[in-house]
Copies of this chain bind each other. A is one copy, B any other.
Amino acid sequence: MQTLQVELAERSYPIYIGDGLLARSDILLSHIAGRQVAVVTNETVAPLYLERLLAVLADFSVTPIILPDGEAFKHWATLQLIFDGLLAARHDRGTTIIALGGGVIGDMAGFAAACYQRGVDFIQIPTTLLSQVDSSVGGKTGINHPLGKNMIGAFYQPKAVLIDTSTLVTLPPRELSAGLAEVIKYGLICDMPFLAWLELHVEALLALDQALLGEAITRSCAAKAAVVGVDERESGLRATLNLGHTFGHAIETHMGYGVWLHGEAVAVGTVMALEMSQRLGWLTPAERDRSIRLLLRAGLPVVPPAEMTPDNFLEHMAVDKKVLDGHLRLVLLKGLGAAVVTSDFPREVLDVTLRADYRAMVDQLRDE
């Protein structure tokens, strides 16, 4: 088992990573302060792992709250089901909410924990690759609004993150690939050796090699923990973790939440950020293509939806959380492994990026 620490003074917490941790009651119980626990999960994850978790929690007063599955349900009405469940079972301020599931469950359970009686304890048990390498760490919680993704939420840190890598064996391949989009992101923004490591091992990761998955998750979480420790509330450095996310959120919002997986939209958004960085002269075409090839090998989409026009992108990007004083800020690369957050680009380069023929670009890469 690996243990990392997110350093945030009195809100610091550990990340445990290992094979079979879900059954390790000693770890989980050391982070529960009271007698009441609510387990928030969904209809897909509950049949797989809820019983195992409830066995560990046998001595507590436990309320399971089972939500519908998917990004399409990451909105207020579903969040309300959590509050209804907590109040019906009379959970008090001393309760602990455990998120058992992917990023949507973690975001909603975390936001519910932030708001219930103005804040109760919260533990993340992420069961998808995407949530294990990204969304379970760092305290971003929230729900979507019809006009924008994650527009309503809180920064609210968990007491602990428990990552059982064996849960990935039940993950659909499409979701495994989606998680790899965020893993590759860490290499692109700040870790060239990790990028090279991923180029060596991407197929083995897709084949669920437990040791390599453990290493990929640990390196990803270590990168995230370091950034969050420096910039919890995203006043600077943390925004670089959103490489591909501004374009990606536009895709998710436009196509309807859940039609594209978050990681899939991020993969395409990353390609657009690579293309824009290249057009600004900050990346060579070879660096751009090398990155796109890795995304392709990870089984990810790399071409924006055919039905989205440049205006569709601009409309959604205008409400992105990185807009400040009317200026659109984007995460771009000044070389591989060197992300920047900037609004210092000619508007024409953005327009050209939105109009680029990604289909042709990718066909050419595939032909090589």
Task: Give residues in A with beta carbon < 8 Å to B.
Answer: 34-35, 76, 80, 83-84, 87-88, 90, 92-94, 114-119, 140, 142, 145, 147-148, 150-155, 233, 318-319, 321, 323-326
Task: Verify A321–B119 contact, CB threshold 8 A.
Answer: no
Contacts of A117 in B (CB 8 A): 151, 153, 321
Closest to A139 in B: B118
Task: Verify A154–B34 contact, CB threshold 8 A.
Answer: no
Task: Verify A116–B151 contact, CB threshold 8 A.
Answer: yes
Task: Verify A151–B83 contact, CB threshold 8 A.
Answer: yes
Q: Given the known A-B contacts A93-B324, A142-B118, A154-B119, are A88 and B147 also in contact in the complex, defined by CB atoms under 8 Å?
A: yes
Task: A9 to B88: give the CA distance in the assembly, Å.
Answer: 37
The 28 sampled A-B contact pairs (Cβ below 8 Å) are A34-B325, A35-B326, A76-B80, A83-B145, A87-B145, A87-B147, A87-B151, A90-B318, A90-B319, A92-B324, A93-B321, A93-B324, A94-B324, A94-B325, A114-B154, A115-B153, A116-B152, A117-B153, A117-B321, A118-B140, A118-B142, A118-B150, A118-B153, A118-B154, A118-B233, A119-B154, A119-B155, A119-B233
Task: A90 to B151: give the CA distance in the assembly, Å.
Answer: 11
Contacts of A321 in B (CB 8 A): 92-93, 117-118
Indicate the member of A80, A88, A93, A140 with the most B CB atoms within 10 Å. Answer: A93
Q: Classify the interface of chain A: helix, strand, loop or mixed.
A: mixed
Closest to A234 in B: B118
Indicate the member of A76, A90, A115, A148 with the most B CB atoms within 10 Å. Answer: A115
Task: A321 to B117: give the CA distance in the assembly, Å.
Answer: 6
Task: Verify B154–A154 contact, CB threshold 8 A.
Answer: yes
Task: Verify A152–B115 contact, CB threshold 8 A.
Answer: yes
What distance in Å separates the Cβ of A81 from its nearest Cβ neighbour in chain B? 12
Contacts of A90 in B (CB 8 A): 318-319, 323
Task: Verify A35–B151 contact, CB threshold 8 A.
Answer: no
What distance in Å separates the Cβ of A311 from its nearest Cβ neighbour in chain B? 15
Task: Verify B324–A115 contact, CB threshold 8 A.
Answer: no
What distance in Å separates the Cβ of A137 from its nearest Cβ neighbour in chain B? 16
Contacts of A152 in B (CB 8 A): 83, 115-116
